[in-house]
Structure 1
Amino acid sequence: MDHCGQTPAGGHVAATHGRSPTTTASPAKESETSAAQRQSALARYLVQHIDLVLDGLTGLRAGTDPIHDTRVAIRRTRSTLRVFKKHLDPVAGPAFEEELKWFAGVLGDVRDVQVQRQRLRDALDAIPELLVLGPVKSRIDRDLRGIEAPARDRVSEAMETTRYLNLVTELQRWSAAAPVLPTGTSKRLSATAQKAGAKADRRLKSALKSDDDELLHRARKAAKRARYANELLQLDRSSTRARRNIKHYKQIQSVLGDVQDTVVARTMLRQLGAAAGTTPGENGFTFGLLYAREEQLARQCRRDVAAL
């Protein structure tokens, strides 16, 4: 697999991924670290979501399926590393974010299939049975299983690599003591969050002038970062403005998420319809109908987000 190292001799280094049991510190140092984390909303927000990532990795290793929750925790962590990078170790932060991006991408291949399977099943249930020509449901289930199985294999393979084990070690290190600089005062964190919001607004305005779905996808990611930045501010002190911003950017994120889901769905439906159209006993008609439905939803979502 690309970007992956080799499994160290002897197999797994650890069976679980909680905070490192080998981390030791003097009582004075522990007291200093705890005090710093209490004082810094940035450190507390990072540690909160890094610990959720570690919980998710432990669940994956145990055979449960916390892929969605783990990706959300990684996303919040990565967003914080990017938005507040000036208040973090300039060497450790970017490298950490890059490794989180890698593993989030591995998990994303599985999650995309999970989302689309449910989405297409629901869409199929919503159309009259008369318009379902051929074994459409079995085609959806069979083809998406064919995508999901190797994607899950790639997750398992990634978790056996040196690169993954190094990521776990880094997660544990940040959980124990996030390298936050003393520049992260309340005032500066607030100013940084405002910049994230302004960037999200600019990206959305630009994207709505274009028919490019990729620009809307970038606007969605910027809206997420603005939302998470304001969540961080709420850890520092309760703010009506921050609460309002969280709600606003969450709405934008949700609608633009629907747009992105239609993009992925249309790609899959083209592939499914083409395969069905060339297979005896099957018919591409229903897949074309579902594709048109996704296009209509995308247009409606654009109108909805413009209204926001």
Structure 2
Amino acid sequence: MLDIVIEARKASIGHGLDVRRILPFRLRRMVGPFIFMDHAGPVNVAPQALPEMDVLPHPHIGLSTVSYLFGGQVTHRDSTGAQQIIRPGEVNWMTAGSGIAHSERFEDPAALAGGALEMIQTWVALPEKDEEDAPTFNNYKVNQLPIFTDTGVWMRLIAGNAFGLTNSVRTHSPLFYLHVVLKQGARFGLPQEHSERGIYIAKGTIEVAGNRYTAGQMLVFTKSADPVIIAMEDSTLMLLGGEPLGQRFIWWNFVSSRAERIEQAKNDWKEGRILLPPTDNQVFMPLPEDKSKPSAGPPPQALS
């Protein structure tokens, strides 16, 4: 029934911006096509400290980054020319394909609106046939993402399909991604139409099969499992999964089905062949000095 429980690990991706890293994990690298998951915040800093948290332009290949906010706001810029402020409840879906660079900056004191910045970012690996597609970026507004409510249950479909819900978010393989809020005592389940399924507890405490699990844990279930999730207090969950894509290599911000493709991406970034965002091209992240080869395990350090 329950395949594994993953404990989030602390990681730092910039001054003042620590995250809880859930995926990849050494014993469970992916859930469906999801290969990376970070939970940043809540972050409370003085407005003048916001620029220190900026994530400078950096490259990706072979994946889609998916950004979703609980609070605050972030300015995204990338090498397609896209510039977009993302706000709570929206989705930024950037597909790197053959190569893209992007930045995430905290430029406006409104980034701390409501007292805290809080963001979930996932990476979705691409099918082999799509790994070298031209890069794209899309922002999806709150009214494009369907919501379902029931007694003690609020749910938004971020992407894919689940529980009979679909939306217009463009994906490349079968998957689901949900933001679920449960009131204390509410019961919930997992969609049955996907073979790999996980629950990340962003806030609160839940009970499954008589065992309690708390914020910062991800529960991954076997295909045949039909768990009943009981909220022991008001809780916020991120449900995700889908169909597996096969082995993927990962190093820094690069993902590929081929280890040699990551070596090429390293050289492309060093030689300037991956373009910087045209409106954010004065500084960038250099390639890490780590000399390790691409592996099917966790990267030396991944960045959003």
* Pair in the same fold by TM > 0.5: no
TM-score relative to the length of structure 2: 0.28
The structure that is helix-richer by fraction is 1
The structure that is strand-richer by fraction is 2
Q: Choose 1 or 2 for highest CA Rg.
A: 1
TM-score relative to the length of structure 1: 0.27
